[in-house]
């Protein structure tokens, strides 16, 4: 950053502090890194990750849609996860990437509110959906004869609808409450997107009671599904190791381990953000942790599920063969 850029930045911040803090005042995003990185290099890295994540999730969605052998409850839920990840990474990364090359790091009040709501809704939906996916594997391995009844098409649709509705309602309540609070401090958000915990540091009134509400929501939306996942897979592993078939053991462990890798990464980082008291927060650490559940998880999901799953890799080979035969 040269001298002129520093001067412009200081002028912009000073102007924002001096102006009337009205409802329509824009916010200013600090970004992922403040010093020591070349913005052009960061833009290339983030844009590449974003593109790979989009291609991976879109390919997995279309693969599940085109191959009839993947028209099962497990892959229906997996396709929903890919749809969520597509929207999830698209909510934060494009704005962050543009800010690397832009002199203006501002985001409008309404834009910040929409971004916070959509991000929170998608995050809550994914947290619940991962829990339902573990239930699917639990039923498939522990109660295979009852699987067609316990995981019927109607029940799968109800699970997905419940996840979307719960995540959206939770996000609506928190977003509406936070954005009606008085932002009487600097509008400088020390983050790369509008996230509720980062916005709370800008509020000038006491928010200690609301922090308990955020903690309660985090325990319900994040911790309970994570505990359910751990409990269900503990039961699955017991059943798996009682199997006499080595092939069945390998298949079950492969499926469950891939899910556990993604789930652990997602829940551990989100819990670290949404259940931590405001007094213990570090903006730099919070931004690094946020990278894992906003960028890394949506990037890894399609590849972990495809590369570690024989049914998905088989479907990819069949699709490739059909394409070559057609042309």
The pLDDT of residue 323 is: 58
Q: Contact at 8 Å (CB) between 224 and 263?
A: no
The pLDDT of residue 175 is: 96
3-state SS class at 121:
helix
Q: Give exposure, 24-54, as e/b (b: 16+ Cβ within 10 Å).
A: eebbbbbbbeeeeeeeeebbeebeebbeebb
| Domain 25-326 classification at class level | mainly alpha
29 phi/psi in degrees, rounded to 5: -90, 125
Q: Which residue has the tokens 């990437």?
A: 97
DSSP bridge partners of 28: 106, 188
H or E element that contains 107: strand 106-107
The pLDDT of residue 25 is: 75
- Least Cα distance to 127 among 231, 318, 289, 262 occurs for 262
- Least Cα distance to 288 among 45, 32, 89 occurs for 32
Biggest alpha carbon–alpha carbon distance for the chain: 73
Tokens representing 294? 């906003």
- What's the predicted TM-score (pTM) here? 0.85
Q: Give exposure, 265-294, as e/b (b: 16+ Cβ within 10 Å).
A: bbbebbbebbbbeeeeeeeeebbebbbbbb
Integer Cα distance of 202 and 178 in angstroms: 10
The pLDDT of residue 185 is: 64
Integer Cα distance of 66 and 233 in angstroms: 30
Integer Cα distance of 167 and 276 in angstroms: 20
Mean pLDDT by 10 residues, the chain (327 residues): 43 40 69 69 89 92 87 92 94 89 86 95 95 91 90 94 96 95 83 92 87 91 93 86 71 73 90 85 88 92 76 74 60
Q: Contact at 8 Å (CB) between 179 and 141?
A: no
State the alpha helices, DSSP H only, in 67-105: 73-101
Half-sphere exposure of 49 (CA within 13 A, CB side): 22
């Amino acid at each position: 950053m040269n001298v002129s850029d520093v001067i412009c930045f200081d002028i912009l911040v000073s102007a924002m502090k001096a102006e009337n803090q009205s409802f329509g005042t824009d916010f200013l995003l600090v970004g992922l890194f403040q010093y020591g990185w070349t913005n052009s290099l960061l833009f290339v890295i983030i844009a590449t990750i974003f593109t790979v994540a989009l291609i991976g999730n879109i390919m997995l969605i279309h693969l599940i849609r085109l191959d009839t052998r993947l028209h099962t409850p497990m892959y229906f839920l997996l396709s929903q996860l890919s749809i969520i990840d597509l929207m999830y990474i698209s909510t934060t990364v494009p704005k962050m990437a543009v800010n690397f090359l832009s002199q203006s790091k501002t985001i409008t009040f309404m834009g910040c509110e929409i971004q916070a709501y959509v991000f929170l809704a998608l995050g809550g939906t994914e947290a619940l959906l991962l829990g339902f996916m573990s239930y699917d594997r639990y039923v498939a391995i522990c109660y295979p004869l009852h699987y067609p009844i316990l995981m019927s098409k109607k029940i799968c649709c109800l699970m997905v609808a419940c996840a979307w509705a719960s995540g959206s309602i939770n996000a609506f309540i928190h977003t509406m409450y936070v954005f009606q609070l008085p932002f009487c401090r600097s509008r400088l958000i020390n983050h790369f997107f509008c996230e509720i915990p980062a916005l709370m540091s800008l509020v000038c009134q006491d928010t200690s009671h609301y922090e308990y509400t955020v903690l309660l929501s985090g325990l319900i939306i994040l911790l309970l599904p994570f505990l359910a996942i751990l409990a269900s897979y503990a039961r699955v592993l017991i059943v798996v190791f009682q199997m006499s078939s080595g092939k069945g053991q390998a298949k079950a462990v492969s499926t469950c381990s891939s899910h556990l890798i993604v789930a652990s990464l997602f829940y551990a980082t989100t819990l670290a953000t949404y259940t931590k008291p405001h007094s213990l927060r570090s903006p730099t650490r919070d931004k690094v942790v946020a990278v894992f559940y906003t960028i890394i998880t949506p990037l890894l999901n399609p590849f972990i599920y495809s590369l570690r799953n024989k049914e998905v890799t088989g479907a990819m080979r069949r699709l490739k063969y059909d394409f070559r035969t057609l042309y």
